[in-house]
Amino acid sequence: MRLEEKDLAYIWHPCSQMKDYETLPPKIIARGQGVYLYDIDGNEYMDIVSSWWCNLLGHCNPTISKRMQAQLDTLEHVIFANFSHEGAIQLCEELANLLPKGLTKFNFSDNGSASVECALKMAFQYQNQIGRPEKQRFMCLTNGYHGETMGALSVGTMDLYAKLYQPMLMDTIRIEAPDCYRCPYGRTRDSCSCECFEKAEAAFAQFAQETAAMIVEPLLQGSAGMRIYPPLYLEKLRDLCTKQEVLLIADEIATGFGRTGKMFACEHAGITPDIICLSKGLTGGYLPMSLTVTTETIYRAFYADYREGKAFLHSHTYSGNPLGCAAALAVLQVFREEPILEEAQANADYLSAQMQKAFGDHPHVGEIRSIGLIHAIELVKTKETKEAFDPNLRMGYQIYREALELGLVLRPLGDVLYFNPPLTIKWEELKKAIQQTKEAIKRVLGE
Ligand SMILES: *Cc1c(COP(=O)(O)O)cnc(C)c1O
């Protein structure tokens, strides 16, 4: 049996209708280098989506690989209750200096969803222990995505992933998110004063007393199609949360580590959340690891004699895994030794200009939007009305298949095509990716 057939005999792939694989069998990848993946037949694919947004500094990055190899021969794992190790300690010290000021207490998990679960439980217990036990609910934005486990799905609001499971989920308070492309107030992203924030104000007026925390993806609602909203919205939300004693949880799982042009998206708004969730880029995409980081104030509410029952009795087997910490330390080392953010910014400017040139006039390209190196193209039925295509036409998916044939991994979000490449991508590679995208769009939608 060929490997492809064996794969289909055994493997249930994530986020897939497996019947699609009848006509698009899995690519069996043999190796990766930089922005490229190579399959077992020697075909090359440019990984313009960073292998689900986690591959931050290229495949087989020499600095990360080397540091992890050294760690492998020293300590692979150790129980993290009552035990610790130098890598974890050093990682937290370095991150405390990079994170928005005040985030100094680190709790380790092993994937993004788990870090969200941890944040929700932490917020709930905090409110309970400081004498606000009535604050038991959570607020979130529509079009938000925070992962696939029950708590994370409960604060997720994309019907595609969450609707069917509603009976299993918590009853959360949903606030209509900013929609800058189809702004109901007729404003534009760059010049508005976030009139849409009135929706948040109304929800807080009604529900803040019963709300433990509000969770948001700062500035970029990734899974909903790289929807971008202004920093001012986040500034206003920080103020409102503080006033109403609702904790602010920033889910920076997708936006952290330079993806939006700054180390963390919260920096654009100059705010510190009460809790931040990190994963994906944290280990450069080498190993599953995540962090839920909070403030001294929140940490203190759990600090008491054991018999008071205030401890946070939350754990994962692989908390603080030394191999993951070694990868994460290597990522920070690369940021120190190389001008990653500066070069990514120069390439982002190049990419914005080239995308505008290549797709700006296409009748089915509604909006081209970007933040940092992340660039998205929203396809529409007609540019003038901004009307979407019938989702059953699967335009984005059709283009994805054409792009794959051309050697580009352009996995879409519905009808939104996007680039979210490793920050180390070269401008020549971006140029090539644009040409491939242009050809793939042409094959499905015409010139
Ligand atoms: C990917 C993602 C998650 C979930 O992380 P997993 O590691 O896939 O569980 C949560 N929030 C955001 C914003 C994400 O992009």
- Look at domain 66-337 and name its CATH class: alpha beta
DSSP H/E element including 268: helix 266-269
d(CA 251, CA 413): 19
Residue identifier of the C-alpha nearest atom 11 of ligand 1: 146
How confident is residue 1, by pLDDT bands cut at 50, 70 and 90? confident
Residue 147 C-alpha to ligand 1 middle, in angstroms?
A: 5
d(CA 351, CA 103): 33
How deeply is 42 buried, as exposed, middle or buried, from its count of CB atoms within 10 A (0-12, 13-18, 19+)?
exposed
What is residue 70's predicted lDDT score, i.e. its pLDDT? 97
Structure tokens at 382: 């007609």
Characterize the bridge pairing of strands 275-278 and 247-251: parallel
pLDDT tens for residues 218-232?
A: 999 999 999 999 999
In testing the pocket of ligand 1, which one of 52, 111, 113, 150 has its CB within 8 Å of the most ligand atoms? 113
How confident is residue 161, by pLDDT bands cut at 50, 70 and 90? confident
> Tokens 């994906």 sit at which residue?
280
DSSP H/E element including 324: helix 322-337
Taking 90 as the threshold, does the pLDDT of residue 44 lie above it? yes
With contact defined as beta carbons under 8 Å apart, do 221 and 180 qualify?
A: no
How confident is residue 388, by pLDDT bands cut at 50, 70 and 90? very high
Residue 225 C-alpha to ligand 1 middle, in angstroms?
A: 14
Does this model's pTM top 0.95? My answer is yes
Torsion of CA 275, 281, 282, 283, to 10 degrees: 160
Stretch 411-420: mean pLDDT: 97
The CA R_g of the chain, rounded to the nearest whole Å, is 22
**CB-defined site of ligand 1, < 6 Å:** 111-113, 116, 145-147, 217, 222-223, 251, 253-254, 279
pLDDT tens for residues 185-237?
A: 999 998 899 999 999 999 999 999 999 999 999 999 999 999 999 999 999 99
d(CA 427, CA 175): 39
Characterize the bridge pairing of strands 247-251 and 211-216: parallel
d(CA 382, CA 362): 10
Ligand 1 atom nearest the C-alpha of 54 is 1
SS3 sequence, 51-84?
HHHCCCCCECCHHHHHHHHHHHCCCCCCCCCCCC
pLDDT tens for residues 256-282?
A: 999 999 999 999 999 999 999 999 999
SS3 assignment, position 375: strand
Indicate the domain borders of the chain: 66-337
With contact defined as beta carbons under 8 Å apart, do 292 and 33 qualify?
A: no
How confident is residue 162, by pLDDT bands cut at 50, 70 and 90? confident
With contact defined as beta carbons under 8 Å apart, do 64 and 293 qualify?
A: no
Residue 254 C-alpha to ligand 1 middle, in angstroms?
A: 7
How confident is residue 158, by pLDDT bands cut at 50, 70 and 90? confident
**Which residue, 402, 406, 83, 418, is CA-closest to 221?**
418
Residue 309 C-alpha to ligand 1 middle, in angstroms?
A: 31
d(CA 29, CA 11): 15
In testing the pocket of ligand 1, which one of 50, 120, 146, 278 has its CB within 8 Å of the most ligand atoms? 146
What is residue 379's predicted lDDT score, i.e. its pLDDT? 98
Ligand 1 atom nearest the C-alpha of 251 is 13
SS3 assignment, position 417: strand
In testing the pocket of ligand 1, which one of 53, 228, 276, 279 has its CB within 8 Å of the most ligand atoms? 279
- In sign, the C-alpha dihedral spanning 263, 266, 268, 271 is negative
Residue identifier of the C-alpha nearest atom 3 of ligand 1: 147
Q: Average per-residue pLDDT in the chain?
A: 97
How confident is residue 447, by pLDDT bands cut at 50, 70 and 90? confident
pLDDT tens for residues 314-363?
A: 999 999 999 999 999 999 999 999 999 999 999 999 999 999 999 999 99
